[in-house]
Amino acid sequence: MSPAPPPITVEEILDALRLAGGRITTTRRATVEALLAHTDRHVSAEEVVEAVRARYSDVAESTVYRTLATLEELGVVTHLHLDHGPATFHLADHPHRHLVCRACHAVIETPAELYTGLTGELERRFGFTVEDEHFALTGLCRACRPAAGATPP
C-alpha cells in the first residue's frame, strides 16, 4: 500500500497541521499561501519570508522558518540544495530529483525512480542508504555541453 498523497491546497495543508496538533496562525497561513504561489519553481526560505512580510511586516523570520520545518516534518514540503545556493523548498506532491546545469543554472526535474538502481547498489555494496531528495546532481545540460566543449556520452 502506498502512502497517501501529500496535501496540495492551502486548506489541505492547514488541516494536516491541525491533525498534527498545530495551531493555525496568520503567519502559518501566509507561509503556506506563499509556498503555493510558487509551485512553478523552487523557492528559498528567504523568498517565503519576503512574501509573508509583504503582507504582514511584523512577522518574525524565525516563525516562517519554524513553519517550513514543521511542513517538512509532515511531508508536505521537501527542501534541497540546488548547487551552492540556499536551501530551496517545493511541495512534496510528486517525488522527483534534480539536475542543475553548472553553466546556465537550469534546474531539470527527473523522476525519482531513475535513481532506484544507483541507490539500491549503494545499499547492497556499502550498506549506505541515500537520502537523494536532499541534493541535486550538477553537470552540463544538453544546451551547454557544446559551448563547454563537452562531448555527449
Query: What is the grid cell recorded at 4?
Result: 497517501
Q: Which residues contact 148 (CB under 8 A, 6 or more apart)?
A: 103, 140
Strand partners, 139: 101
Parent domain of 59: 10-80
pLDDT tens-digit map of 10-69: 999 999 999 999 999 999 999 999 999 987 788 999 999 999 999 999 999 999 999 999
Asked whether 7 and 13 are in contact (CB, 8 A), the reply is yes
**1 band by pLDDT with thresholds 50, 70 and 90:** very low
Select from 80, 105, 123 the last residue of a domain.
Answer: 80
Query: What is the grid cell recorded at 145?
Result: 555541453
The DSSP 8-state label assigned to residue 133 in this structure reads G
Pick the closest to residue 10 from 88, 91, 85 (CA basis). Answer: 91
CATH number at residue 72: 1.10.10.10
Domain assignment present for residue 123? The answer is yes
Pairing relation of β-strands 136-139 and 96-101?
Answer: parallel
How many residues in the chain? 153
